[in-house]
Amino acid sequence: MIDLRAALREKFGFEEFQSGQEEVVKRILSGEDTLAILATGAGKSLTYQLPALLLSGTTVVVSPLIALMKDQLDMLRELGVTEVVALNSTLSEDQEARAIERVRSKSLKIVFVTPEKLEDETFLRLLEAIEVPLFVVDEAHCISQWGHDFRPAYLALGAVIARLGHPTVLALTATATPAVREDILHQLGIPNVKPIVRGFDRPNLIYDVRRAEKESDKLKIVRQLFLNNELEGTGIIYTATIKNALEVQQYLQDELDVPAAVYHSKLQKHDRTSVHNLFMEEHIRAVVATNAFGLGIDKPNIRFVVHYDLPGSVEAYTQEAGRSGRDGLDSRCILIYRMSDTRVQNYFLTGKYPDIEEVQKVFGTLEIFAGQAGGVSMTDLRKILQLPLTKLKVILALLKKGGFIETPSRSKYALTEAARNKREMLLNLANYETKKSYDQSKLAMMLQYAETTSCRRRFILNYFGEGFDRTNCGACDNCRRVRPMHNGKAATESGYRIADVVQHPKFGQGTVERAEKDLVTVLFPSVGYKTLLASAVSRAEAKIA
């Protein structure tokens, strides 16, 4: 039997595991598939790095972001672990060839890959030829079409796991509602796994919401926050658009004399690196950024995260706000919003989902080029079809999952023989209509968080399926405004508890996500979240799938 504490000390220099880590590591070493939902900053990477170093063979880690891979590689190399490589789009041909050779030599302990790399048939055949004891899916919520950060390339991972002879699977995420958890397990082909969930509650995060009537009022609120010294140290201000990021950064510098930098997806790589370094070294007070900034930021003393616009979901909000206070000290999470913010998020949603005509357009284009050796490149498809990249990627992933197309080489697409012979499309897009209304209901839940007059911490925990039996947390603006009850216990006059299964005459069966006074918020698979009078639902016998 391996002494895990001794291995932890020897490999990483830590005396103790953080909450949930040891349980995950034990499960993996005994060959059990695992879904671990661990709070942001709870040390998710150690749960696969330690087993990878103890198991024979090469562990495959799928990661959606190149920045995350780089952080992991740097950290492992600092610990003296050099039998690791990362395969992603930043490598030159020579670098990739050398990395592939190291994989082939069977000398590596960990290979980090993007999900797109696993669409490469040659690379898949190489993985089939070596020993892969553990297959790790980081940021696993990206596989779920119900998650807040869906990545189409993740849809192929279940088939990859099957091709590799089903090594032990570890799926990791910090943000997954009960519905997303089920979908992750289904997509990866590990349906009967009981997730390990370790508290979403971060007692040191102080939640606060400020409502703006006009757009110009938002800058006034930012002004108050800095001039009243409500924001200490360094932090992040998130905006929904690049335009707002530029405007807020300029306001901080010119009007408030607050050193700040701007970060968004259209910045050149060297500019992104420069902003990252300024922030890490605290040469600036704030980074004003779109959601392109944050994943993989390993800075424990971020003292504040301000959202200048309403995010698209509670998952996105908690992931971004949760980047503050990882050192355990008090940190501010402030949301500024106005009702019209929902328009921007709804605009983003309309660009995400394909309709049947768009899918047929892509299929028809691939049919025209069926005789072209090696398939059609993503770049050419974009030029011909004039579709947004996100939407095109979703369509290609749907077609691939349905067996209509294949990828003969990297980033090239062609019709499969079966699709050429059938010539008619049988793709069902009805679930994308459901997905659209589901995402709109998640936006409504985000607005409900902003508007609630009860405990914000309880709202967040309930959303993720965790109970919180106190009515007053003492650390959100609503709770600080009211005196706590003597016993501090939360009463649910509705008669329902979280995870109760209920029936509605129109929406069918659903699961209770929140219960407060005479209201319940229920997640229905067909329509998403609905807040209803408790009297509008009745108890159901069977649990929903």
| DSSP label at residue 84 | E
Q: 328 and 367 in contact (C-beta within 8 Å)?
A: no
Place 150 in a pLDDT band, splitting at 50, 70 and 90: confident
pTM here is: 0.74
Give the per-residue pLDDT at 307: 98
What mean pLDDT do residues 187-215 have? 90
- In one-letter notation, the amino acid at residue 133 is P
Residues of the chain with pLDDT > 70, as a percent, come to: 92
CA–CA distance, 19 with 106 (Å, rounded to integer) = 33
pLDDT at 444 over 70: yes
Q: How many CA atoms lie within 13 A of 58 on its CB side?
A: 26
* DSSP line for 330-379: -EEEEEEE-TTHHHHHHHHHHTT---HHHHHHHHHHHHHTTTSTT-EEHH
> Is residue 472 over pLDDT 80?
yes
How large is the greatest C-alpha to C-alpha distance in the chain, in angstroms?
76
DSSP 535: G
Query: pLDDT at position 41, please?
Result: 66
- Residue for token pair 């690049």: 242
Residue 226 neighbours by CB distance under 10 Å: 17
Between CA 466 and CA 471, with CA 469 as vertex, the angle to 5 degrees is: 120
Question: Which among 91, 81, 18, 36 is positioned nearest to 54, based on CA atoms?
Answer: 81
Residues 15-55 have pLDDT tens digits of 999 888 999 999 999 999 999 998 766 688 999 999 999 99
On the question of pLDDT at 494 being above 70, the answer is no
- Residue 400 pLDDT: 81
Q: Averaged over 456-463, what is the pLDDT?
A: 90
**CA quadruple 157, 162, 163, 168: dihedral positive or negative?**
positive
- Per the CB < 8 A criterion, the answer to whether 170 and 36 are in contact is yes
Question: What's the pLDDT score for residue 540?
Answer: 78
Least confident range of 18-22, 99-103, 368-372, 397-401: 397-401
Q: Which residue has the higher pLDDT, 154 or 237?
A: 237
Residue scoring higher pLDDT (295 or 171): 171
How confident is the prediction for the chain on average, in pLDDT? 87
Supply 306's token pair. 């301000």
Who contacts 535 (Cβ-Cβ below 8 Å, separation ≥6)?
518
pLDDT in tens, 135-148: 999 989 888 866 66
pLDDT of residue 491: 45
Chain-centre distance of CA 223, in angstroms?
Answer: 31
| CA separation for the pair 218, 341 (Å, rounded) | 12
pLDDT for 397 equals: 81
Condensed to tens digits (0 to 9), the pLDDT of residues 116-135 reads 899 888 999 999 999 999 99
One DSSP character per residue, 165-188 reads T--EEEEEES---HHHHHHHHHHH
* Model confidence pLDDT, tens digit, residues 211-261: 999 999 999 999 999 999 999 999 999 999 999 999 999 999 999 999 999
Spatial contact of 313 and 445, defined as CB atoms under 8 Å apart: yes
> What pLDDT does 464 receive?
82
Residue 157, both tokens: 């991972």
Asked if the model's pLDDT at residue 398 lies above 50, the reply is yes
- Identify the sign of the CA torsion 439, 444, 448, 449: positive
Average pLDDT over residues 504-516: 86
Mean pLDDT for the stretch of residues 467-472: 81
Look at residue 471 and tell me whether its pLDDT is greater than 90.
Answer: no
Q: Strand pairing partners for 273?
A: none
Instruction: Look at residue 310 in the predicted model and tell me its pLDDT.
Output: 94
Tell me the per-residue pLDDT of 268-289, one tens digit each, with 9 for 90 and over. 888 988 999 999 999 999 999 9
What local confidence, expressed as pLDDT, does residue 543 receive? 45
Provide the pLDDT for residue 489. Answer: 47
Listed residue (377, 534, 393, 517) closest to 455, CA to CA: 517
pLDDT of residue 64: 84
Q: Which domains does the chain have, with CATH numbers?
A: 4-198 (3.40.50.300), 205-346 (3.40.50.300), 355-428 (1.10.10.10), 491-545 (2.30.30.140)
**C-beta separation of 390 from 351 below 8 A:** yes
Q: What integer pLDDT is reported at residue 420 of this predicted model?
A: 72
Q: Report the C-alpha gap between 481 and 476 in whole angstroms.
A: 9
| pLDDT given at position 304 | 97
Pairing of strands 519-524, 508-516: antiparallel
Q: Lowest mean pLDDT of 31-35, 408-412, 510-514, name the range.
A: 408-412
